[in-house]
A and B are shown apart, each in its own frame.
Chain A
């Protein structure tokens, strides 16, 4: 089955700096890669996703890049703000071939210091 590795497990940055979280996956058939943000006591919130037919996607201060050959994808947050502090999860899915089930990384605790 799919295996998703996520690094780092914790990340501390100063407000205004950039943050980068990286994930690798094992199943070359995976074709959908979402990122979720989870705040304390809440469910995961989808913040951005990318499909395997594109290499990069951007939405305001967040962007995701995908390297299918190397089987890794990354989340980039620019101009970080204290409200970006949360746990971030990457995930991978094979789409219809696996009922769109998500396999998650272990999460990254991002702390943005004011």
Chain B
């Protein structure tokens, strides 16, 4: 079946502009994660959504970052007033969630963000 998809695959933006990154999780997966992959910091957790529960935003690096998940499926990560240090690959992952201890997370191909 279809895996996690992300768009755009690449995004170049000027410093100070806002960007939106999109994630379509695997159909039926209730848990969705955003991670950031940068040269200096490796892979870092950003935010987690599970069903209708309040999201876990503990990994967001600043209040310029926000995310939403509409209808329990598609998610959008928004970065306002982008800075050069925001340049990274933004990865989305989904997990079957619900009960039963479904641990496995499956990643999308990522969005490479470059802030000039």
Contact residues of A with B, CB < 8 Å? Answer: 32, 34, 36, 41-46, 49, 51, 89, 91, 93, 95-96, 99-107
In the complex, which residues of chain A have a beta carbon less than 8 angstroms from the beta carbon of B110? 42-43
In whole angstroms, what is the CA distance A107 to B106 when docked? 17
Report yes or no: A105 in contact with B109, Cβ–Cβ below 8 A.
Answer: no
Which are the 3 A-B pairs with shortest beta-carbon distances? A43-B107, A104-B43, A32-B103
Judged by a CB distance under 8 angstroms, whether B85 is at the interface is no
| Minimum Cβ distance to chain B for residue A3 (Å) | 12
Interface residues in chain B, defined as those with a beta carbon under 8 Å from any beta carbon in chain A: 4, 6, 31, 33, 35, 42-45, 48, 50, 56, 59, 91, 95, 101, 103-110
Please give the distance in Å from B51's CB to the nearest CB on chain A.
Answer: 12
Alpha-carbon separation in the docked complex, A53 to B116 (Å): 48
Given the interface pairs A99-B50, A99-B56, A102-B45, the reply to whether A43 lies near B109 with Cβ below 8 Å is: yes
In Å, the complex CA distance between A41 and B29 comes to 24
Residues of B within 8 A of A95 (CB): 101, 103
Q: With a CB–CB cut-off of 8 A, which chain B residues contact A106?
A: 42
A100 pairs with B103, CB closer than 8 A? yes
Tell whether, in the assembled complex, residue A44 and residue B91 are in contact, meaning their CB atoms are under 8 Å apart.
Answer: yes
A-B contact pairs, 7 of them (CB 8 A): A43-B110, A93-B103, A96-B101, A99-B48, A101-B45, A102-B33, A102-B43
Assess whether A101 is in contact with B109, with CB atoms less than 8 Å apart: no
A46: chain B residues at CB < 8 Å are: 104-107
Q: Which of A32, A42, A45, A89 contacts B43 (CB 8 A)?
A: A89
User: Which of B43, B59, B107, B110 lies at the interface centre, i.e. has the most chain A CB atoms within 10 A of its CB?
Assistant: B43
Is the Cβ of A102 less than 8 Å from the Cβ of B42? no
Query: Does the CB pair A101–B103 fall under 8 Å?
Result: no
Closest B residue to A93 by CB, please name it. Answer: B103
Query: Smallest CB-CB separation from A32: which chain B residue?
Result: B103
